[in-house]
Amino acid sequence: MTASITPMAPFDLIIFGGTGDLSLRKLLPALFHRYVDGQIVAGTRIFGLARDEQSDEAYRNRVREALQKTLADDPRSPGALEPFLEMVFYRRIDLSSDTGWAGLAAELADESRVRVFYLAVGPDLFGNVGARLAAHGLAGPNTRVVVEKPLGHDLASAVAINDALGQVFAESQIYRIDHYLGKETVQNLIALRFGNALFEPLWKAEHIDHVQITAAETVGLERRASYYDKSGALRDMVQNHLLQLLCLVAMEPPSSLSADAIRDEKLKVLRALRPIDGGSTSQLTVRGQYRAGAVEGRPVPGYLDELGRDDSRTETFVALKAEVRNWRWAGVPFYLRTGKRLAERMSEIVVTFRQVPHSIFDELVEPIAPNQLVIRLQPDEGVKLWLMNKVPGPGGLRLRRVPMDLSFAETFGGRQPEAYERLLMDVVRGNPMLFMRRDEVEAAWNWIDPIRAAWEVSSEAPKPYTAGSWGPSAAVALIERDGRTWHEDAG
Ligand code: BG6
C-alpha cells in the first residue's frame, strides 16, 4: 500500500560534483527509483558536472554501474535502466574559471523549466558557484539550489556560507538538506504526533520522564578521513541530524504543515536548549574515540590506525544530556548519543513515559515498567508502543511488558523509499518543509559551539571505547547517574 504518485513536469537537475560519492551512491539511485515509479518522466534532464573531460557515454557507464547495486530493490527496475540513462548527461565544468559555463547556460536557456542546482561540492565553493550561476543568468525565479552539510564548522563559518548563498539566491530558493528529515520514519513522527489525538495530551513533562535519541553506526571512517577528522561526531551528526530529531519530538504543534509553520516551531526549540558550556560540559557530555575491536564479528582497526596518525583528538562518539527550557519540557532530559563503530547500526527515538502513580499489582512478581514509545528510524523501520499486559492463562494476574508493533514493512509492504527520493522531489515541487532554514542552522551552531570550545580547552582526551561496543562506559554513567538506562530492544 503506497501513496499514489503525481508525475512531475520535466525539469533539469544539474549536479555539481556529479562523479562524487554522494551523486553515485545516493542521488542518482534516488532519481532512478523516482523514474521507475513514474514520478520523473521523459524530457527530464540530469546533468552530472565535474572537472574531467568525459563523454555522456562514459558517464552513463559509471552511473549504470552504480545503479546495478540497487536494481534488486524493485523488480520493475532492470527494464527502466537504459531509458533512465538516456536522460543523464555529463558536462565538464571548472568552478574556478569560465570553462563550461556559457555552454551550460545555453543548454539551460528555457526559463520555464524548473532548474535545480545540486551543490555536491565543498561549502567553500558555494559562493563561487552561486556567483557564476548569477553571472550566466542561471539564478532566475525557477532556479533552486540544494546544499549539503557541512554547512560550516561553527556559527561564524555557517553565517559566511549563508551570506554567500544569500547574495545570489532568495532564502526560498535555497534548500539545505538534512537527509534525516527525508527518512520515512522521521516524517512519520509528524504524522504520529499531529495526526493522532492520543499522544498530544501526554506529550509533556507531566507525563514524560525522558527522551532518548540514538544514531548508532557500525561503519568507521570509510573514505572520508580528511573531512571527518576535522569534523568529529558533534559536528557531523549532533549539530544537524540529532538536533533536528530533537526538534521534531519537542516542538509545539505547528498551525499547519506549511514549511515556515514547522520551521518556526523547530527554531523555538533550538533557542530554548539550555546552553552547555565550560562549566557544565564535563557533566553533561561524553566524547569517545574507538579503539580496535570487532564489529559484526569482523576485526576492525582503531580510529587512529584507520587515520594513519596518532595525535588526533577527534571524537567518533558523543553522548549528551540536553534540556529544553520551556513549560512543556521543564526538567525532562533529552539524552542524545551517536557514534561510529558501535555494536549495531540502529537509529531510534525512545519516549519514556512516567510510572503509574500507584501500583495495584504485586510488584514482586513483575515490576510495572513505564510505557515507552519507540520510533525506529532504521533498520526495521516502525513504531512500537510498549505496554503492560496480562499474561494469558491461569496462575494469577501476572503482567508482562509487550509491544504493540507497527512495522512499516509488514503494514505497508513494498520497498521503503530512501530519504533522498523524497527530498529531491520536494525540491522540484518547491516544498521546503523538510529542509533547514538559515536561522535553524545558525541556532544549532550557536548551541554546539560552546560545547566544542569547552572540549578544545579541556585537558581530557576523548574516552576510548572498543569498536563493536556501545561507546565509552562514561556514556552509560551519564544516564545511569540519573537512575535511567539506555534503551535496549527486548523484542
Ligand atoms: C551523514 C554523516 O550525514 O550521515 C555520516 O556525515 C553518517 O558520517 C551518515 O554516516 C549517516 O546516515 P544514515 O542515513 O546512514 O544514518
Task: Give the pLDDT confidence of 135-175 residue by residue, as tens digits.
Answer: 999 998 999 999 988 899 999 999 999 999 999 999 999 99
Q: Is the CB of 236 under 6 A from ligand 1?
A: yes
Per-position b or e across 284-297, b if 16+ CB within 10 A of its CB: bbbbbbbbbbebee
Q: What is the pLDDT of residue 247?
A: 98
- Say yes or no: 377 and 278 in one domain: yes
Asked if residue 3 is part of any domain, the answer here is no
Which residues carry out catalysis? 241
Last residue of a domain, one of 154, 178, 202: 178
Q: Give the residue whose CA is nearest to atom 9 of ligand 1.
A: 237
Asked if residue 432 is part of any domain, the answer here is no
The annotation status of 179 as a binding-site residue, yes or no, is yes
Last residue of a domain, one of 136, 160, 178: 178
Residue closest to 447 by CA, chosen among 286, 287, 229, 238: 238
Q: Give the residue-averaged pLDDT of 57-73.
A: 89
Note the pLDDT tens digit of each residue in 206-261.
999 999 999 999 999 988 898 999 999 999 999 999 999 999 999 999 999 999 99
- Structural domain boundaries enclosing 389: 183-417+437-480
Report the amino acid identity of residue 8.
M
Asked if residue 157 is part of any domain, the answer here is yes
Given the CA of residue 419, which atom of ligand 1 is nearest to it? 14
Asked if residue 476 is part of any domain, the answer here is yes
d(CA 14, CA 24): 14
- Say yes or no: 242 and 159 in one domain: no
Asked if residue 426 is part of any domain, the answer here is no
When divided into structural domains, the chain yields a total of 2
Q: Where are the beta strands (DSSP E) in 242-371?
A: 285-291, 293-295, 298-300, 317-323, 333-339, 346-353
User: Are 463 and 470 within 8 A, CB to CB?
Assistant: no
- Say yes or no: 257 and 150 in one domain: no
Asked if residue 1 is part of any domain, the answer here is no
Q: How confident is the model at residue 71 (pLDDT cuts 50, 70, 90)?
A: confident
The annotation status of 384 as a binding-site residue, yes or no, is no
- Say yes or no: 164 and 213 in one domain: no
- Say yes or no: 445 and 461 in one domain: yes
- Say yes or no: 135 and 283 in one domain: no
Note the pLDDT tens digit of each residue in 409-420.
778 777 778 899
Asked if residue 365 is part of any domain, the answer here is yes
Q: Is the CB of 217 under 6 A from ligand 1?
A: yes
Q: Give the residue-averaged pLDDT of 341-353.
A: 97
Q: How confident is the model at residue 41 (pLDDT cuts 50, 70, 90)?
A: very high
Q: How confident is the model at residue 1 (pLDDT cuts 50, 70, 90)?
A: very low
Q: What is the pLDDT of residue 490?
A: 55
Note the pLDDT tens digit of each residue in 164-215.
999 999 999 999 999 999 998 899 999 999 999 999 999 999 999 999 999 9
With a pLDDT cut of 70, the percent of the chain lying above it is 98
Last residue of a domain, one of 141, 156, 178: 178
CATH of the domain at 108: 3.40.50.720
pLDDT > 80? residue 13: yes
Note the pLDDT tens digit of each residue in 357-394.
988 887 666 789 999 999 999 898 899 999 999 888 88
Q: What is the pLDDT of residue 406?
A: 87
The annotation status of 323 as a binding-site residue, yes or no, is no
Asked if residue 427 is part of any domain, the answer here is no
